[in-house]
């Protein structure tokens, strides 16, 4: 390739193929959230058919979170060692098979129940089967975000990463938006069995395009010299594999992990319990659930893109990366607070509005929180740090699954749950600021 001078380095120089890669990540995130959300939409249906209690459903969600936590540690290292092309392909294959396998959960549930009984856990065949299917789904889906964030670090200069992260992360909202439209229709037409099969098949379609269109920037024939120079316009980073012992001592690692631990559970709350909240508080059934959930995730989509855009905009205006990221995160944290009233209002649409704003703020927060890793760690460490933080977030999700299930079983109210949601982000930002008052590159000697 010909050399490119610094004067040639503009966002438009030489092409836009990096945004095509971002589009692939967007659709992966969409499918990821379709597959994980199906069970939340079908919760009332499955509870009625199988007689699950709130604690049974809580244990099924807990199983997903446990496997998701374990999977993040594996996936982060896998992406750093295998590279994102192969690593992503492995992850989406595992989670797509697992998503479709939910349809046969009762069939293999007897064997699953016997296996779990060896560990002293007694479940019906249906609960045991769904626990196993959810664990397999969690292991596979854990690969999505380490792979996507590492891909963004490989394909975008630092000044574009928050916006690119916000764009691909908005796919999670699209997935969460499509699911309450598609799943009830499939269920009424063909039964819940085919809802799991159809959504599970989507990942294999994506895999064909990923394997065909993706390669690293240096090797990709559609990346011009100018675009490659723009992608690599940040200072040179070291090229080497980094062990856990080189990453865990740093406050930046723990700031990200604690931020995920404290705020990821709130998103899981929206994903797995919002259909139940609407049904419990306002009598919304499967047929009429689509519209309020579509509104919620449309608003959340705006937050995902807007949160990433805000910090990138501030950086372009001359703000430091530290000030821009944290200002955007503070804005998002404040926007979540009104959700504390959502469980007590009498209007369904007012409740949906409060939760929608909070969900949008979470997505804006998440886009910037993820970007803190690529702001402070070299590309070779991004997958591992994201994996460690994702594990912490999944552990938080395990806790909220149990807490929410017990609160609903014994009080029937979301008041305490939404109070926790409203305060979590400000507390998390205070911890991040205490640990990392300035965002600076980690020195990995």
- The model's confidence at residue 23, banded by pLDDT at 50, 70 and 90, is very high
Selection from 243, 425, 442, 239 nearest residue 338 by Cα: 425
At 442, give phi and psi (nearest 5°): -70, 140
266, 424 contact by CB (below 8 A): yes
User: Which residue bears the tokens 């499918």?
Assistant: 31
Mean model confidence pLDDT for the chain? 86
Domains of the chain: 14-233+250-435 (1.20.1250.20)
Q: Which pLDDT belongs to residue 288?
A: 81
Alpha-carbon distances, residue 305 vs 25, 34, 75, 165, 169 (angstroms): 14, 19, 25, 8, 8
Percent above pLDDT 90 for the chain: 39
Query: Per the confidence metrics, is the pTM higher than 0.85?
Result: no
- Per-residue pLDDT for 26 more than 90? yes
Mean pLDDT calculated for residue range 324-350: 94
Of these ranges, 116-130, 145-159, 201-215, the one predicted with the greatest mean pLDDT is 201-215
- Per-residue pLDDT for 230 more than 50? yes
The more confidently predicted of residues 244 and 43 is 43
DSSP 3-state of 235: coil
Mean pLDDT calculated for residue range 11-39: 86
- Per-residue pLDDT for 272 more than 60? yes
- pLDDT tens digits, residue range 109-140? 888 889 888 888 888 899 999 999 999 999 99
- Per-residue pLDDT for 73 more than 70? yes
């Amino acid at each position: 390739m010909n050399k490119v001078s610094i004067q040639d380095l503009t966002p438009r120089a030489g092409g836009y193929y990096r945004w095509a890669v971002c589009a692939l990540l967007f659709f992966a995130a969409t499918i990821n959230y379709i597959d994980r959300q199906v069970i939340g939409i079908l919760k009332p249906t499955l509870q009625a058919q199988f007689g699950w209690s709130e604690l049974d459903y809580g244990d099924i969600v807990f199983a997903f979170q446990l496997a998701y936590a374990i999977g993040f540690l594996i996936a982060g290292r896998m992406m750093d060692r295998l590279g994102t092309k192969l690593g992503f392909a492995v992850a989406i294959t595992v989670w797509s098979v697992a998503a479709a396998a939910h349809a046969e959960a009762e069939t293999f549930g007897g064997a699953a129940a016997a296996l779990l009984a060896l560990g002293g856990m007694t479940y019906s065949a249906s609960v045991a089967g769904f626990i196993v299917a959810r664990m397999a789904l969690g292991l596979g889906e854990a690969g999505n975000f380490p792979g996507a964030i590492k891909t963004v670090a490989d394909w975008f200069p630092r000044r574009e990463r928050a916006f690119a992260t916000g764009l691909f992360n908005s796919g999670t909202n699209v997935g969460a938006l499509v699911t309450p439209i598609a799943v009830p229709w499939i269920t009424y037409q063909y039964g819940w069995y085919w809802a799991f099969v159809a959504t599970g098949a989507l990942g294999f379609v994506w895999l064909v395009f990923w394997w065909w269109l993706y390669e690293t920037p240096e090797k990709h024939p559609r990346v011009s010299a100018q675009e490659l120079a723009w992608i690599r316009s940040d200072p040179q980073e070291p090229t080497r594999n980094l062990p856990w012992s080189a990453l865990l001592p740093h406050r930046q690692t723990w700031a990200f992990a604690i931020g995920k631990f404290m705020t990821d559970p709130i998103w899981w709350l929206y994903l797995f319990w919002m259909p139940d909240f609407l049904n419990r508080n306002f009598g919304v059934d499967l047929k009429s659930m689509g519209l309020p959930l579509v509104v919620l995730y449309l608003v959340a989509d705006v937050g995902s893109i807007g949160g990433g855009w805000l910090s990138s905009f501030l950086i372009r205006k001359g703000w430091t990366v530290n000030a821009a990221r944290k200002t955007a995160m503070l804005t998002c944290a404040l926007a979540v607070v009104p959700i504390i009233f959502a469980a007590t209002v009498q209007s369904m649409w007012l409740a949906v509005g409060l939760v929608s704003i909070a969900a949008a703020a979470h997505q804006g927060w998440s886009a910037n929180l993820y970007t803190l890793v690529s702001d402070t760690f070299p590309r070779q460490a991004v997958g591992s740090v994201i994996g460690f933080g994702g594990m912490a977030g999944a552990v938080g999700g395990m806790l909220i699954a149990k807490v929410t299930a017990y609160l609903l079983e014994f009080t029937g109210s979301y008041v305490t749950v939404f109070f926790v949601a409203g305060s979590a982000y400000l507390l998390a930002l205070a911890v991040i600021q205490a640990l990392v008052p300035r965002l600076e590159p980690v020195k990995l000697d």
